[in-house]
Structure 1
Amino acid sequence: MKLVVEQPAARWYKTEMGLADGDSVRIFVRLGGCGSVHPGLSLGVIKDVPRSAGLSEAVEGVTFYIEEDNIWYLENKDLRISFDEKYEEIKMDVE
């Protein structure tokens, strides 16, 4: 299980969220949305400080992470965060 954040996605988050080098972004499970793994649940993002990161990756000076208590969502798979240039949006794929 791993978290992969592609550079174009990290740059997009830095711009859209006004992030600076050294900031952290928490990826968390939320109720609602169109999640690909668990019906009725999806992933959200928020600028935050890690408490007990289960997975993390630093890209473009920003640490993206999932807390240990949210790793169950991935079901032992990888999470890849990419930027779709055609639609100018973020894609989160559990693979």
Structure 2
Amino acid sequence: MKIEVNERALRWFKEEVGLEEGSAVKFYPQAYGSSPVQESFALAFTIDNDLKEVAVHTVSDDITFFIEDSDLWFFNGHDLYVEYNQANDELEYKYIRP
């Protein structure tokens, strides 16, 4: 599994969330939502610099994006692509099976 965060999504994180170099973003499943890979769960994120049980990560512009070992089930074998949807002014998650 891999995580890719495109440049526009990275800019969104910096502008809207205030991320700076050295920050870390954890993606995790949240109940009471929906996604193409898990019914009744959506993907959420939080700022979390506690990188203890990292299963997958990527670093862009010295910002770490990661998923913990205990949350891999959510992705059901899919890679995560984080993009920015300009029309809706929000992040967009794409799940693609390698």
Structure 1 length-normalised TM? 0.93
Cα distance in 2 for residues equivalent to 1:80 and 1:58: 13
Aligned to 2:88: 87
Aligned to 1:56: 57
Contact 1:26 1:65 in 2 (8 A): yes
| Gap runs ≥5 in structure 2 | none
Aligned pairs, number? 95
Cα distance in 1 for residues equivalent to 2:59 and 2:4: 9
Q: Calculate percent identity across the aligned residue pairs.
A: 25
Question: Superposition RMSD on alpha carbons, in Å?
Answer: 1.0
Query: Which runs of at least 4 in structure 1 moved beyond 6 Å after TM superposition?
Result: none
Structure 2 length-normalised TM? 0.90
Deviation, 1:22, is 0.5
Matches within 5 A, 1:1-95: 1-49=1-49, 50-95=51-96
Deviation, 1:76, is 1.3
Cα distance in 1 for residues equivalent to 2:67 and 2:84: 19
Cα distance in 1 for residues equivalent to 2:86 and 2:79: 22
Contact 1:83 1:89 in 2 (8 A): yes
Cα distance in 2 for residues equivalent to 1:84 and 1:59: 19
Q: Give SS of 1:44's match.
A: strand
Which residue type is aligned with residue 32 of structure 1? Y
Q: Give SS of 1:65's match.
A: strand
Deviation, 1:44, is 0.6
